[in-house]
Amino acid sequence: MINEKLQAAFNDQINKELYSEYLYLAMKIFFVENDLTGFVNWFDVQVQEEHAHAMGMFDYLGERGGSVKLEAIDKPVFNGKTPVEIFEEVLKHEEYVTSRINALLDVAEETKDRAAIIFLNWYLKEQVEEEASVGGVLAKLKLIGDDKKALLMLDKDLATRVFNPPVIG
């Protein structure tokens, strides 16, 4: 049976992962409205990844005899009005998620739950990859500046991204 404090921390993180899914759906709207289908694809894949992350924790709690407690998901809030501004917010959000995974790991360490620590190490590694991926797109967007042709080339490149269901744990 999983420790109650750790169970509560997992439930909080499940909510944050579902919020991330919802946030990226909201951000996707900008790119839909601007006919940037490659960026739309990038966000579609991101939404699927966030959902998979939430469900990985959801399933893990069940496997450990814990109980999932779903709470309301906050309305997504972001202020970006350009691709650069939106991806700056994506990076900031991914850094926040990394901090939350670290906090969850802190609880696992505090409760001496080695199984949870091993499980959460996958998420920590995933966050390093997420931040690097988003940072790469952001760097390209900044380099592009106002060059519409270059933006369309990046859009074409982002259209090739595919969702690969993760093997979590």
In tens digits, the chain (169 residues) has pLDDT values of: 899 999 999 999 999 999 999 999 999 999 999 999 999 999 999 999 999 999 999 999 999 999 999 999 999 999 999 999 999 999 999 999 999 999 999 999 999 999 999 999 999 999 999 999 999 999 999 999 999 999 999 999 999 999 999 998 7
Q: Report the pLDDT value the prediction gives residue 44, as an integer from 0 to 100.
A: 98
Is 166 inside a domain boundary? Answer: no
Asked if the structure places residue 88 within a domain, the reply is: yes
Domain presence at residue 40: yes
In a domain, residue 75? The reply is no
Tally of structural domains, the chain: 1
Residue 14 belongs to a domain with what CATH number?
1.20.1260.10
- Terminal C-alpha separation, the chain: 18
With beta carbons less than 8 A apart as the criterion, state whether 45 and 161 touch. Answer: yes
For the whole model, what pTM was predicted?
0.96
> Contact, 43 vs 24, CB < 8 A?
yes
What is the domain range of residue 136? 4-67+81-158
Tell me if 57 is assigned to some domain.
yes
pLDDT of residue 169: 75
Q: Which residues, at least 6 apart from 77, have a Cβ–Cβ distance to it below 8 Å?
A: 23
What are the tokens at 126? Answer: 């995933």
Q: Is the alpha carbon torsion for 93, 95, 99, 101 positive or negative?
A: positive
- Classify residue 168: in a domain, yes or no: no
Residue 161: which H helix or E strand, with range?
none
Helices (H), the chain: 4-33, 37-63, 83-110, 114-144, 148-158
Residue 72 domain-assigned (yes or no): no
Residue 163 placed within a domain: no
Structure tokens at 52: 């998979």
Q: Give the span between the Cα atoms of 96 and 167, in whole angstroms.
A: 23
